[in-house]
Amino acid sequence: MSNLVRITVNQKEIEAENGANLLQTLLDNGIETPHFCYHEALGPDGNCRMCMVEIEGQKRPQIACDTFVKDSMVISTKSDNIMAVKRSILELELINHPVDCPICDQAGECKLQEYYMEVGLYDSRLDTPKVTHKKHIDLGSSVMLDQERCVLCERCARFTTSYTKTNELGIVGRGDHAKIATMPGKKLDNPYAMNVVDICPVGALTSKDFRFKQRVWFMTSTPSICQGCAKGCNIYIDHNTLKYESPVIHRYRPRKNLAVNGHFICDEGRLSFKEQNSNDFKGTYSKNLHINFKKAVSKMQKLLKSESEHTIIVLSPSLLNEQIASVLQLSKVIGANIFCPLEIYADEEFGDDILRSSDRASNRWTINALNIETDYSKFIDNLDSARLVINFNHKLLLNPERELSNKLTNKINVHFSEVECENRHDSEISFAYAPFSYVSGTTVNESGHLQQLNAALSPTEKKPDLLELIHIVSGKKTSHTNEQIWQNEMKNLEVFENINFTKIPLNGLALGGSNV
């Protein structure tokens, strides 16, 4: 039940929820309010004093993070008075801050820099020495700590206390000699550790993985969805292309989505960008040898014709919706049965009650919604009577265990995959295709949330778009763009029939109920 009231901010009236946190309300309304210690996921702390605002009727400026919306409140964040207050608080934040900008990874996304440009722009009047602390401390989990740069907002410590409940970090010492530390000899060690790098507003906590690699203003941020498990955490793919070089993804960052992953992602998902950069597997192969693309296509088309009665298709439950729809189209064209054994994608050890799902199949929901056969034994039964096995990136066939491998030896195996398959000798044709960061599309997470992926990089000749591949291989009998897929195929699938593909919100769309 919302209870909306009207408040005035900088002479403009806005609607706000009665009793809501004033700082969050200001931020939600796009009103720039510098702050360090407040974080939407971690709550207020009231220690940085940066978010001070002027409230009519109150003698002194108040911190917005400890103020609650009341009807008819009149706030100023821009008066000369409050700007002077903010400037003086910022000056004090910078008093003991090392001038590391030229070597600090945070440059370009640093709150101290941002706020200095917003409310600072003064000349330093510091003539006395700064407090010094330890720099580049390896905390473990790929996180580097620089105690000097820290503004003691305590976000990181609160993260390990209230979010991961692993309690590694804390402020020790007192006064201006206080600093962030771990228990002596202990490391930062939990599956979400690297999130502290994002929540740290300055360069005190940085990623060892990203250290000194790239200046952030040279990168482009593309919104996408992590494909590591069925949670579908929202991410930014940060990438760029240097002159004469291939495009590189430098890192993933979490993208806020209160309906899915909140503000964070797990470390494994965060570091999975490296797989996307791998250029090890590309092009087309037959058995162990590289073959020409045209040859591969023609070979494939011959096989499809000759084995048309005896073909089965296996597809990965991590394919995008459009890719799945395209494979479905293909299966109709060649009259093959489709299987997607799901058991192997279960990972109990990985799942937790924070974000990580024990289901590694990022698009399982769609597999189930489309009633694709998921039972392993049914797949095996059908396998026996098949001669041609077409695998679209399914783990089971890329890396089969002994028993299955033996069965496959007698078959004609074709792989469409992002990574190389184990049994190259048994692979009649292998097509490399571009992984998810190269294409756009949609997936549905385990809670039935439809989400959009955007292409950060572009498919290449050696790593083409899977839709394009299927289109060519099928003799142009399937759609080859997302638009066409949605217009032709998806519309006919009940679960997607009412979706306007071009209007999926940035935060996704709930599709009535989980379908696991």
Partner 1 sequence: MSIFTFTPQNEEKFLNLLKKYPHPQSLMLPSLWLAQSQDGYISSEAMEYIATKIEVAPIEVYRVATFYTMFHLEEIAPYHIEVCKTLSCKLCGQDEILKYIEEQTTNSNKFKISKVECMGACGGAPMMTLNGVYHENLTTSKVDEILGGIQ
Partner 2 sequence: MIVKIVSKKFDIPNAHTLDVAKQNGAYSALDSALSKTPEEIIEIITESGLRGKGGGGAPAGKKWSLMPKKSDRPHYLIVNGDESEPGTYKDRQILQYDPHLLIEGMIISAYAMNANEAYIYVRGEYKFFIDRFQSAVDEAYEANILGENSTLSHKLNITIHRGAGAYICGEKTALIESLEGKRGHPRLKPKKPEPEYFFGNPATVNNVETIATVPFIVENGADAYRQYGTEKSPGTMLFALSGQINNPGVYEMAYGASLVEFINEIGGGVKNGKKLKAVIPGGASTPVLKADEDLACVMLDYESMRSAGSSLGTGGAIIMDEDTDMVEALKNLLEFYHHESCGQCTPCREGSGWVDNIVGAILDGVAQEKDLDTLLDVAKTMNGKTICVFAPAVSGVIEGFLKNFREEFENYISEGRFVKSPVEAIAEASCQTSLE
**Footprint on this chain of partner 2 (rule: CB under 8 A):** 46-50, 52, 60-61, 66, 85, 88-89, 91-93, 95-96, 125-129, 131, 151-152, 171, 173-178
Distances (CA, A) of 405 to 114, 342, 373, 417: 57, 18, 21, 17
- In the complex with partner 1, which residue's Cβ is closer, 119 or 193? 193
- In the complex with partner 1, which residue's Cβ is closer, 174 or 243? 174
Min separation Cβ 38 and partner 2, Å: 12
Backbone φ, ψ for residue 303 (5° rounding): -60, -45
- The Cα–Cα gap between 446 and 293 comes to 37
The option from partner 2, partner 1, none interacting with 328 (CB < 5 to 8 A, set by class) reads none
H-only helix segments in 370-481? 376-384, 395-398, 402-409, 466-473
- In the complex with partner 2, which residue's Cβ is closer, 128 or 500? 128
The option from partner 1, partner 2, none interacting with 291 (CB < 5 to 8 A, set by class) reads none
Min separation Cβ 128 and partner 2, Å: 4
Count of helix runs (H) and strand runs (E) in the chain: 15, 23
Distances (CA, A) of 31 to 88, 184, 382: 20, 42, 61
The option from partner 1, partner 2, none interacting with 506 (CB < 5 to 8 A, set by class) reads none
| Under 8 Å between Cβ of 231 and 353 | no
The option from partner 1, partner 2, none interacting with 185 (CB < 5 to 8 A, set by class) reads partner 1
E-strand spans in 105-216? 137-140, 143-145, 169-172, 179-182, 205-207
- In the complex with partner 2, which residue's Cβ is closer, 4 or 92? 92
The option from partner 1, partner 2, none interacting with 128 (CB < 5 to 8 A, set by class) reads partner 2
Which residue in this structure is represented by tokens 């722009």? 121
Backbone φ, ψ for residue 372 (5° rounding): -75, 140
Backbone φ, ψ for residue 10 (5° rounding): 50, 45
The option from partner 2, partner 1, none interacting with 475 (CB < 5 to 8 A, set by class) reads none
- In the complex with partner 1, which residue's Cβ is closer, 112 or 169? 169
Min separation Cβ 167 and partner 1, Å: 3
Min separation Cβ 160 and partner 1, Å: 8
Min separation Cβ 44 and partner 2, Å: 9
**What is the distance, to the nearest Å, from the Cα of residue 360 to the centroid of all Cα atoms in its chain?**
15
Q: At what angle do helices 466-473 and 293-306 cross, to 10 degrees?
A: 60
Min separation Cβ 45 and partner 1, Å: 15
Distances (CA, A) of 305 to 45, 293, 302, 388: 68, 18, 5, 11
Min separation Cβ 166 and partner 1, Å: 8
Nearest to 422 by CA among 447, 395, 444: 395
* Range 290-326 burial, b when 16+ CB lie within 10 A, else e: eeeeeebbebbeebbeebeeebbbbbbbbbbbbbbbb
The option from partner 2, partner 1, none interacting with 161 (CB < 5 to 8 A, set by class) reads partner 1
- In the complex with partner 1, which residue's Cβ is closer, 168 or 322? 168
Which residue in this structure is represented by tokens 């002994």? 402
Min separation Cβ 423 and partner 2, Å: 60
The option from partner 1, partner 2, none interacting with 168 (CB < 5 to 8 A, set by class) reads partner 1
**Footprint on this chain of partner 1 (rule: CB under 8 A):** 161, 167-174, 181-186
Backbone φ, ψ for residue 75 (5° rounding): -115, 145
- In the complex with partner 1, which residue's Cβ is closer, 61 or 191? 191
**What is the chain's Cα-based Rg?**
27
What tokens does 159 get?
């993260």
The option from partner 2, partner 1, none interacting with 184 (CB < 5 to 8 A, set by class) reads partner 1
Helix (H) / strand (E) element for 303: namely helix 293-306
The option from partner 1, partner 2, none interacting with 169 (CB < 5 to 8 A, set by class) reads partner 1
- The Cα–Cα gap between 448 and 516 comes to 9
- In the complex with partner 2, which residue's Cβ is closer, 180 or 372? 180
CA angle 44–92–66, rounded 5-degree value? 20
- In the complex with partner 2, which residue's Cβ is closer, 177 or 213? 177
The option from partner 2, partner 1, none interacting with 151 (CB < 5 to 8 A, set by class) reads partner 2
- In the complex with partner 2, which residue's Cβ is closer, 30 or 129? 129
Min separation Cβ 83 and partner 2, Å: 13
- The Cα–Cα gap between 484 and 352 comes to 38
- In the complex with partner 1, which residue's Cβ is closer, 177 or 294? 177
What tokens does 451 get?
């989400």
Min separation Cβ 204 and partner 2, Å: 15
- In the complex with partner 2, which residue's Cβ is closer, 44 or 459? 44
The option from partner 2, partner 1, none interacting with 143 (CB < 5 to 8 A, set by class) reads none
Min separation Cβ 170 and partner 1, Å: 4
Partners of 327 in beta bridges: none
Helix (H) / strand (E) element for 487: namely helix 482-488
Min separation Cβ 123 and partner 2, Å: 11
